[in-house]
């Protein structure tokens, strides 16, 4: 069975259409945050891993917070002097919504990573991977539409049972699908559930994007690792999604591999019963 979700023509909220004052205020706040983060890194501090995560969290939250504060200040000013334009106000509200959503996603990942240290091992249980994959795909459709991506889901007709931690697998798959939606520059993302030789179940998440070099593959699961466009601020995020996926896989006995090369796209392979 193949489920094909077409892209929508809606435009995701962003800085387009904002006035010069709003953009200038946001840029100044974000530049200040980047400068402070660079100074901290240059100081050569030897913080614990937890302190590093918290330090990065503060840096990552500054940009969306600056956007919310800057835009709301402009909105209030225009309302006070009677120059508010309804269309512009709507764009400002969309940016506020996008920024607060980004902050929620960052906090959610940091909390999930912190909880891994105190979580107890979940006894393996049998579940049908078709249901898990379908649930992840259904939950990702709105995000795929917002990024103009098409999710193609390929599921076998027969049951695909696996023994393991279904909750960990679902969160791991969600992180990988979100990563593909956010960073791939190709409109199609495929999620395939297969029966692999020697293993009861195999799940592949692939795209036809720009791919990664060997050096990038060596650090793809490292915390705070982000792509070139993301490092320039073009794509918001914390760089913690794939790190969380790797930690979930290692702690739950799930096999996780990645194959990629420049110009050939990227495929993540998951073995739930590894």
- The pair of structure tokens assigned to 88 is 């512009």
User: Which 3 state secondary structure label does DSSP give 59?
Assistant: helix
Measured between alpha carbons, how far is 18 from 185 in angstroms, rounded to an integer? 25
Question: What pLDDT shows up at residue 267?
Answer: 95
- In this prediction, residue 127 carries a pLDDT of 93
What CATH number should be reported for the domain whose range is 123-271? 3.30.565.10
C-beta neighbour count of 110 within 10 angstroms: 19
Residue 198 is predicted with a pLDDT of: 67
> Residue 110: what pLDDT?
84
pLDDT at 8: 39
- Which DSSP helix (H) or strand (E) runs through 153? strand 150-154
Sequence ranges of the domains in the chain: 20-116, 123-271
pLDDT for 238 = 63
The model carries a pTM of 0.69
How much is the pLDDT for 30?
A: 43
Position 196 scores a pLDDT of 63
pLDDT of residue 5: 46
- Residue 164: strand, helix, or coil: strand
* pLDDT value, residue 226: 67
Task: Give yes or no for a contact between 269 and 257, defined as CB atoms under 8 angstroms apart.
Answer: yes
Q: Is the dihedral of CA 96, 97, 100, 105 positive or negative?
A: negative
Q: Quick one: pLDDT at residue 184?
A: 80
Q: Give the strand pairing for 150-154 and 188-196.
A: parallel
Tell me the mean pLDDT per 10 residues along the chain, length 274: 42 45 46 41 45 69 86 89 87 87 84 79 88 95 89 90 92 94 85 79 90 89 67 60 91 93 91 78
* Distance of alpha carbon 45 from alpha carbon 40, whole angstroms: 7
């Amino acid at each position: 069975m193949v489920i094909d979700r077409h892209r929508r023509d809606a435009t995701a909220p962003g800085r387009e259409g904002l006035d010069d004052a709003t953009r200038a205020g946001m840029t100044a706040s974000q530049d200040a945050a980047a400068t402070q983060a660079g100074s901290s890194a240059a100081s050569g501090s030897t913080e614990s891993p937890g302190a590093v995560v918290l330090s990065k969290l503060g840096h990552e939250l500054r940009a969306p917070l600056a956007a919310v504060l800057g835009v709301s200040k402009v909105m209030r000013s225009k309302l006070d002097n009677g120059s508010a334009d309804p269309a512009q106000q709507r764009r400002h509200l969309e940016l506020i919504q996008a920024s607060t959503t980004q902050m929620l996603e960052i906090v959610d990942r940091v909390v999930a990573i912190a909880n891994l240290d105190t979580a107890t091992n979940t006894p393996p249980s049998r579940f049908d991977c078709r249901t898990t994959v379908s649930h992840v795909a259904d939950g990702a459709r709105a995000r795929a539409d917002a990024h103009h991506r098409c999710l193609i889901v390929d599921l076998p007709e027969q049951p695909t049972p696996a023994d393991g931690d279904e909750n960990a697998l679902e969160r791991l798959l969600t992180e990988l699908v979100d990563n593909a939606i956010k960073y791939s520059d190709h409109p199609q993302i495929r999620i395939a559930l297969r029966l692999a030789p020697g293993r009861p179940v195999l799940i592949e998440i692939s795209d036809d994007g720009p791919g990664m070099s060997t050096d990038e593959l060596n650090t793809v699961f490292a915390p705070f690792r982000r792509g070139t466009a993301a490092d320039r601020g073009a794509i918001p995020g914390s760089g913690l999604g794939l790190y969380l996926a790797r930690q979930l896989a290692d702690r739950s006995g799930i096999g996780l591999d990645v194959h990629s090369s420049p110009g050939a796209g990227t495929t993540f392979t998951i073995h739930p019963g590894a």
